Copies of this chain bind each other. A is one copy, B any other.
């Protein structure tokens, strides 16, 4: 099993969620995060003084998924979250050695 972590633009959340529903992803955990990257922040003025906004709001999605579905999932996220503009975000994939469903105690792929 893999853990797919995607950093996306906040307003893309609905699109991505719908795309994932379509390919049958049944669980997502989302977190508000702040991203620092190539997309530079901006300098705001407040009462005439500068105000640098370095970290931009992003959403981090974490999806545990069976190995067999990873490619479809990556495709789906990449398409749905893409605006073509800088700051669209990244997807990271890592291994999961175990998954448990707390409610039932099921483990492995059936727990997803």
List residues of A (19-65) whose CB comes within 8 Å of B's CBs: 26-38, 54-55, 58, 60, 64
Cβ contact of A91, chosen from B27, B60, B84, B102, cutoff 8 A? B102
Query: Are A92 and B102 interface neighbours, CB within 8 A?
Result: no
Chain A contact residues, CB within 8 Å of chain B: 2-3, 6-8, 17, 26-38, 54-55, 58, 60, 64, 74, 77-78, 81-103, 105, 111-112
Selected A-B contacts with CB under 8 Å, 20 pairs: A3-B92, A8-B102, A17-B36, A26-B38, A28-B35, A30-B33, A30-B35, A74-B100, A77-B102, A78-B102, A88-B102, A88-B103, A90-B100, A90-B101, A92-B96, A93-B97, A93-B99, A94-B95, A94-B97, A95-B97
